[in-house]
Amino acid sequence: MLIERLNRLPKEVLGRVKFIGSVADEMHMNAYVVGGFVRDLLLGAKNNFDLDIVVEGDGIAFARELSGKLNGRLAHHKAFGTATVVAQDNSKIDIATARKEIYEFPAALPKVTPGAIKDDLGRRDFSINAMAFGINKNNFGQLIDFYAGNDDLKAKKVRALHDLSFIDDPTRILRAARFAERCNFKISPYTLNLIKQAASHKMPEKVSPHRLRDELILILKENEPVKCVKLVEKICGFSFLHPRLVVDQKKISSLEKAAKVMKWFEDNFRHKRKVDKWLVYLMLLLEDLPAAEIRKTADRFAFRSGEIKRMLSFKADCKRAILKLKSELKPSDIHCILDPLSYEVILLILLRANNRSVEKNINNFLHHYNEVRILVGGEDVKKLGIKPGPHFKKLLKQTFHAKLDKGLKTKEEELEFLRRKAKR
């Protein structure tokens, strides 16, 4: 029973849901929790407590009132009748006016008019995401399931609600793969057929790229992204990303190996900056394209400049770094090669090298050299009577390299090194 599941939620989450319901009662509006929250609650897989609320009535007025009462921050999008309230504890409540959507042409953003909860649920992607429960006092915790979502949850099925679903919104093809793999569900045969039809009309190529990008990132951020990639390849392919992109068995085993290398990094280097795993997978997906094509694709999908830089660096620096790292090197040489590179690229070098020396050098860099800091600073150089200038930086760098190579231990040893260098 849904109400029992609700009662097992953390106290503050249940309290928040009841509070939102009480604001709806005061405003004489019907309010519902909808979408992923309901799905995950019924699956017993709840770990994300961001709320999606739909109200029958003016959603923005409701959000304004709620935000005031919660002392929260409000952002709204008038054209869609939606708003987001960010509460004091930074939890997010998305609020929407119950709406009907009309797609005037395929893959466009829909025209929106106010509607009732049934219309609102009927415009959604899959039956498992088209359930709601009431939060007003008179229907608190009552499941609203016009489209047999709960049956599909039990049957482990991803089923689209209507025949034009993937024509109206082709990003849903990627969503189907994501939910199927995440929940270990099957895409229903009829839905699969609809996906294949949409794919054969190249519908994904017609969506604005940033919407596809967001869904692709979500796929690559799933717990088992490689399974998702395989499924996307099977149901529609990746030509939406680039017409020459091939996801064959070789590519899949590359992705699988990358997953292992990233797990090794996570297990051993918890204290270090987190690796953007999704980006590593994407770099591997795009790897066979020429750099200019990767750049064009990255620009078209409006990835961030830091992300694009890392994608191109893999292409530009990986082979060269492997060649260098195969030889016998001083710690400072290893540091010079690896320090300018992102962890994402370093892990890919590890993956691609398949060579003991490279592995040893990267291991040493991550375990030791990357942690080393010198104890002397600009002030110490100044005290030696040296005027600030570019050689300042050079002297400190030389000291740092000496620390790596000669094992300077104390600040006194570093100062002594500095003094000798400065004299020359």
Rg of the chain's alpha carbons, rounded to an integer?
27
Report d(CA 375, CA 381) in Å as an integer: 12
Q: Binding segment for ligand CTP among 125-133, 191-199, 326-334, 402-410 (CB under 6 A)?
A: 125-133
Is residue 124 involved in binding ligand CTP (CB under 6 A)? Answer: yes
Is residue 169 involved in binding ligand CTP (CB under 6 A)? Answer: yes
Is residue 335 involved in binding ligand CTP (CB under 6 A)? Answer: no
Is residue 101 involved in binding ligand CTP (CB under 6 A)? Answer: no
DSSP H helical segments within 107-208, as ranges? 117-122, 149-154, 165-168, 171-183, 189-200
Q: Binding segment for ligand CTP among 112-120, 122-130, 146-154, 392-400 (CB under 6 A)?
A: 122-130
Q: Binding segment for ligand CTP among 25-33, 81-89, 164-172, 263-271 (CB under 6 A)?
A: 164-172
Q: Are 334 and 361 in contact (CB under 8 A)?
A: yes
Widest Cα–Cα separation across the chain: 86
3-state percent breakdown (helix, strand, coil) of the chain, nearest 5: 60, 10, 30
> Out of 129, 254, 297, 361, which residue is the one contacting ligand CTP (CB under 6 A)?
129
Residue nearest to ligand CTP (CB): 36
Closer to ligand CTP by CB, 47 or 138: give it.
Answer: 47
Q: Which two three-digit tokens encode residue 158?
A: 């991803």
- Tell me the closest approach of the beta carbon of residue 87 to ligand CTP, in angstroms: 17
Q: Which of 318, 337, 317 is nearest to 327 (CA)?
A: 337
Total residues contacting ligand CTP by CB under 6 A comes to 11
- Tell me the closest approach of the beta carbon of residue 40 to ligand CTP, in angstroms: 6
- Tell me the closest approach of the beta carbon of residue 19 to ligand CTP, in angstroms: 21
Q: Write the binding mask 47 to 86 for ligand CTP: x where contact by CB under 6 A, - elsewhere.
A: -----x----------------------------------
- Tell me the closest approach of the beta carbon of residue 38 to ligand CTP, in angstroms: 8
Is residue 152 involved in binding ligand CTP (CB under 6 A)? Answer: no
What single letter denotes the amino acid at residue 165? S
Which residues are CB-neighbours of 407 under 8 A, at least 6 positions away?
none
CA atoms within 13 A on the CB side of 8: 11
> Out of 101, 125, 152, 317, which residue is the one contacting ligand CTP (CB under 6 A)?
125
Closer to ligand CTP by CB, 156 or 406: give it.
Answer: 156
Closer to ligand CTP by CB, 62 or 400: give it.
Answer: 62
Q: Which two three-digit tokens encode residue 249?
A: 């068995």
Q: Binding segment for ligand CTP among 171-179, 191-199, 234-242, 246-254 (CB under 6 A)?
A: 171-179
**DSSP-based three-state secondary structure for 402:** helix
Report d(CA 141, CA 21) in Å as an integer: 11
Helices 171-183 and 209-220: angle between axes, nearest 10 degrees = 10
- Tell me the closest approach of the beta carbon of residue 124 to ligand CTP, in angstroms: 4
Q: Are 176 and 223 in contact (CB under 8 A)?
A: no
> Residue 215 — φ and ψ, nearest 5°?
-70, -35
> Out of 30, 84, 97, 171, which residue is the one contacting ligand CTP (CB under 6 A)?
171
| Burial environment of residue 199 by CB neighbours within 10 A (0 to 12, 13 to 18, 19 or more) | buried
Q: Which residues bind ligand CTP (CB under 6 A)?
A: 35-36, 52, 124-125, 129-130, 169, 171-172, 175
